[in-house]
Amino acid sequence: MKNITVKYGSEMHTVTIGSGATIGQIIKDCTCKVVLGYGDNVKALVSGVEQSLDSIPSDGTTISLETKANQKAK
């Protein structure tokens, strides 16, 4: 089990996850979404670097979420 901190804006929430959980699974978790108040259009950053949703975070990682920029339709 790992403890991961998820940050969105000024709010933070610590979650306990299994060893194989991915960043995508963490940010899609309904509890995190409700507690922190974000939607589906977010990107995950660790130390300011955008992370792939299939990355597996290490214990003690802080994942910062930011709203993705909207893209213009083609």
Residue 74, pLDDT > 80, answer no
Q: pLDDT tens-digit profile of 40-64?
A: 899 999 999 999 999 999 999 999 9
Whole-structure pTM value: 0.86
| 12-26 pLDDT per residue, tens | 999 999 989 999 999
Structural domain that includes position 32? 2-67
Residue located via tokens 């949703």: 53
CA–CA separation, 38 vs 8, rounded Å? 7
DSSP-assigned beta bridge partners for residue 12: 7
Q: Is residue 45 part of a domain?
A: yes
In a domain, 73, yes or no: no
pLDDT score for 73: 66
Q: What does the chain look like in DSSP terms, one character per residue? A: -EEEEEEETTEEEEEEE-TT--HHHHHT-HHHHHHHT--S-EEEEETTEE--TT--PPTT-EEEEEEPPP----
> What CATH number should be reported for the domain holding residue 60?
3.10.20.90
